[in-house]
Amino acid sequence: MNLKSRTFLTKFCGCGLAVASAMAAKHVLAGQAVLMGPPPTTLQSAAELDDSTNNEMNVFLPTNVNRDNALPEPFQYGPVVFRPHPYYHFQYASGIQSGTNNSQSSIIQEFAPGIAVDLGRHWVVDYTPTIRFYSNRAFRNSIDHAATLTGGTAYEDWAFNLSQSFVKSDSTLVDTATQTRTEAYDTELGAERVLNDKMFAQFGVSQVFNFVSGLQNSRTWSTMDWLNYVYASRLNFGLGAGGGYTMISSDSSANSNPNQSFEQLQARVQWRATDKVFFGVNAGLEERQNLAAGYKDELNPTFGASIDYAPFTHTDITLAAGRTVGSSDYSIIAQSTETTTVSLSVNQRLLEDYNLSMGVGYTQTEYTIALGGLSGFRTDDNYNFNVRLGRSFLKRGNVAVTYQYSKNSSNVSGFSYNSSQIGFEVGYSY
């Protein structure tokens, strides 16, 4: 890739190699977990971190960009670096469901001895098992597995990125009101190319397999492609078109939903208004066809919006909202789910060694029946608040106290609950 093209992509395309994949249509999402999870592990390669740091659209510095390069790397062998990141979480949770109309309390202990491997500057692979123990025998102890490969490369005026992830889980889900075994496989391939000094193109293809024990399995293939116009420095517009196909099966052949196809059109604006504020919004329509006699097609609005605001040094505030449509993997009675979310998150560093993060969110999930006429079957309103106060130690370690409150209100009996979780966690990441 020539220097001019590389500079253009870095300046306007988000995280350089990663954007096309992120904009690919996603129509199968994991169920919403009830338990508070660990802080996310950064899987960006060194090259992606460089692009993120130099990108004019970023208000916040990417995670780990301030990594102390003076610290020793005890597990480095040539270009390969092994980065263990063990994690332990102890929490007391009340109001978690072991079945519909059956809320329970339990002490929950999680140990996650994960490891990431940097394969040179452009590729990162990570594997993290999570071993979970419950004190309440209404729940079964479990071992979750998560593996991810991310990276990218460049050829002449093209930039390419690839990600592959696998998650196997046995967590309590809002969607099912009980512990549910799931497996998800997600493959994303993205490409970017500069067309001239004002326009660039992004292409994304996606393959997502979602298997839900006792309910429904889906395999989705989709694409979302964008043509972008740079109107001015820190301001660009885009038009996108895409579509896909979902193949559906269930553990009981008599209760399988029909396969689906879908098409969508989107428009978006990305604007860094000042050094401290970034706005991003996309909106459009999706038409979804249920490929069986008697089922109605569905036309739905979709959108996404976010505001990043950094009022002070080491203060990050993000307000986000979105609406997506997908197949109903967690309820065979319904054919699709329409999910609307609003969230606000704040992250603040305190006294050099402390970090306070807080988040509040609202999610409405509508399970829609398309057989014999479009109608609503079930609607859930989920409210969530979480806070984490942590302190770093020994440069690479962190210990924190955590709290989460969540409330789910459903118009179908058995799926409403109130849950509180309080605990502490400790982790160490190379």
Could you write out the DSSP letters of every residue in 284-345? EEEEEEE-STTBPPEEEEEEEEEEEE--STTEEEEEEEEEEEEE-TT-SS-SEEEEEEEEEE
φ/ψ of residue 255, rounded to 5: -120, 30
Confidence at residue 27, expressed as pLDDT on a 0 to 100 scale? 43
- What does each of the 430 residues of the chain score in pLDDT, given as a tens digit? 554 555 555 555 543 333 333 333 344 456 788 887 777 666 777 777 767 667 788 887 766 544 556 677 888 899 999 999 999 999 999 999 998 889 999 999 999 999 999 999 899 999 999 999 999 999 999 999 999 999 999 888 899 999 999 999 999 999 999 999 999 999 999 999 999 989 999 999 999 999 998 888 999 999 999 999 999 989 999 999 999 999 998 766 556 789 999 999 999 999 999 999 999 999 999 999 999 988 999 999 999 999 999 999 889 999 999 999 999 888 888 889 999 999 999 999 998 889 999 999 999 999 998 887 666 789 999 999 999 999 999 888 999 999 999 999 999 999 999 999 999 999 998 8
Give the pair of three-digit tokens for residue 238: 């885009």
Question: 40 and 345 in contact (C-beta within 8 Å)?
Answer: no
Confidence at residue 17, expressed as pLDDT on a 0 to 100 scale? 32
Residue of 322, 398, 406 whose CA lies nearest to 357 = 398
Confidence at residue 25, expressed as pLDDT on a 0 to 100 scale? 38
- How many angstroms separate the CA atoms of 430 and 18, rounded? 23
Q: What per-residue string of b and e applies to 120-156 under the rule 16 or more CB within 10 Å gives b? A: eebbbbbebebebebeeebbeebebebebbbbbebee
DSSP 374: -
Residue of 71, 26, 302, 339 whose CA lies nearest to 163 = 26
Burial class (CB in 10 A: 0-12, 13-18, 19+), 320: middle
Confidence at residue 428, expressed as pLDDT on a 0 to 100 scale? 93
Give the count of beta carbons closer than 10 Å to the beta carbon of residue 286: 24
Confidence at residue 421, expressed as pLDDT on a 0 to 100 scale? 96
- How many angstroms separate the CA atoms of 208 and 245, rounded? 11
Confidence at residue 185, expressed as pLDDT on a 0 to 100 scale? 97
Question: 246 and 220 in contact (C-beta within 8 Å)?
Answer: yes
Confidence at residue 375, expressed as pLDDT on a 0 to 100 scale? 65
Strands 354-369 and 260-274: unpaired
Q: Which domains does the chain have, with CATH numbers?
A: 3-428 (2.40.160)
